[in-house]
Structure 1
Amino acid sequence: MSIVRNSIRKRTIIIGRHVTSVSLEDDFYNALKEIAAARHLPLFALINMIDADRRTSNLSSALRLFVLGEARNGRLPPART
């Protein structure tokens, strides 16, 4: 059995008029992009919506929790293969 490493990458994003960075695993970032596309939103718009509703001080955690919530509620788009 081989172990696939899902690297955490730091990504620069704009929230409102502020530049910040988030550290996310590739799978979470890709899921965010797929959710945004399924909702016909630019990725930055989805991230801004998540930021506005977040209940945690850490944006990276809020993004992960959003993806987890979408998965638990069966709202993730089908995975691309």
Structure 2
Amino acid sequence: MIRKHSITIRGHRTSFSLEDEFWDALRAIAANREMPLAALITEIDENRIPDDNLSSASRLYVLDWLKSGKAL
């Protein structure tokens, strides 16, 4: 199921939607990196291609994490 979540990034409130499995993966990655989920999403936002939306960038981040051989 796709869920919309709101987050504050650099003082700006935004929302984006992801499937539950991607939210779970992002939470696991944040825990693995010992950082808050909001900090991870801010990092993804700061490093995404400007024309990509945050939902797509987050999915690609999870995919890259898994392709690198890192566990969730």
With the shorter chain as reference, the TM-score category is: over 0.9
In structure 2, runs of 5+ residues without a counterpart are none
**2-structure distance, mates of 1:46, 1:25:** 17
Which residue number in structure 2 is paired with residue 70 of structure 1? 65
The answer to whether 1:57 aligns with 2:52 is yes
Structure with greater proportional helix content: 2
Query: TM-score if structure 1 supplies the norm length?
Result: 0.83
Shift of 1:75: 1.4
**2-structure distance, mates of 1:53, 1:8:** 23
Q: What one-letter code is carried by the residue in structure 1 that aligns with 2:45?
A: D
Q: How does 1:1-81 map to 2 (within 5 A)?
A: 7-55=1-49, 56-77=51-72
**1-structure distance, mates of 2:9, 2:70:** 24
Shift of 1:63: 0.3
In structure 1, runs of 5+ residues without a counterpart are 1-6
Question: Which runs of 4 or more aligned residues in structure 1 lie more than 4 Å from their structure 2 counterparts after TM superposition?
Answer: none
CA RMSD of aligned residues (A): 0.9
Sequence identity of aligned pairs in percent? 52
